[in-house]
Amino acid sequence: MKFRILMLTGAAALGLSACGGEPAATVEKAAGQIEHIGDTALGRALFVQKGCVICHSVNGTGGKAAPALDAADPLVRTDPLEFSARMWRGAPAMVEFQSAELGYVIDLSADDIANLAAFASSRAEQEKFESSQIPGPMADSLLDERFWEYEDWSDFFKSGQEEFDDGEAVETDQ
């Protein structure tokens, strides 16, 4: 009888110890992930060095051909992975433009994207960004809305890019 009580007590203790904390798979998965913490000042420098400023603006400074990267909320840090996903959605147009206008495609590392994401989410760092930080030749190349009036991107977007919607249903073979 004592042996049976001892076994039940041991089994209960083992079962209760397994209930603490997160499941092992979640802990292992979280431990294996790498988090890139971006540097806002490096992101500000990269915004100009990598040419993002040609098409994108911050606080009204920069190009107007692509979405502005103004920080939305000073208390919310932009997730570099989400920032990268947004860039990926715009990548076809960016690659096409860079190839045609620059003759090459801008290369960004994971750290570059993390730094750009940090800059894109920091109002304080964005307030330090001024037009005087854009080199003269680059400042003369900033794209405004009129550029897109002259260039016809409709054929490019009709070729299957997710941002194009002409209201027609798309048929798929399944």
* pLDDT score recorded for residue 75: 67
Report yes or no on 153 lying in a domain: no
Contact assessment for residue 62 and residue 56, using Cβ atoms and an 8 Å cutoff: yes
Contact 153, 83 (CB under 8 A): no
What local confidence, expressed as pLDDT, does residue 155 receive? Answer: 55
pLDDT attached to residue 32: 66
CATH of the domain at 120: 1.10.760
Which SS3 state, helix, strand or coil, does residue 124 take? helix
Residues 106 and 98 sit within 8 Å (Cβ to Cβ): yes
Spatial distance between the Cα atoms of 46 and 52, rounded to a whole number of angstroms = 8
163: in domain: no
pLDDT confidence of residue 45: 97
Number of domains forming the structure of the chain:
1
Per-residue tens of pLDDT for the chain, all 174 residues: 444 443 433 434 434 334 444 433 333 446 666 777 899 999 999 999 999 999 999 999 999 888 888 987 666 677 888 888 888 888 888 898 888 878 889 999 999 999 999 999 999 999 999 999 999 999 998 988 655 544 555 555 555 444 434 444 445 454
Can you tell me the distance from the alpha carbon of 174 to that of 125, in angstroms, rounded to the nearest whole number?
A: 49
Decide if 29 is inside a domain: no
Is residue 114 situated within a structural domain?
Answer: yes
Whole-structure pTM value: 0.65
- Is there a domain that residue 18 lies in? no
Residue range(s) defining the domain that contains residue 45: 40-146
Long-range contacts of 154-159 (CB under 8 A, 24+ apart): 156/92, 156/93, 156/96, 157/93
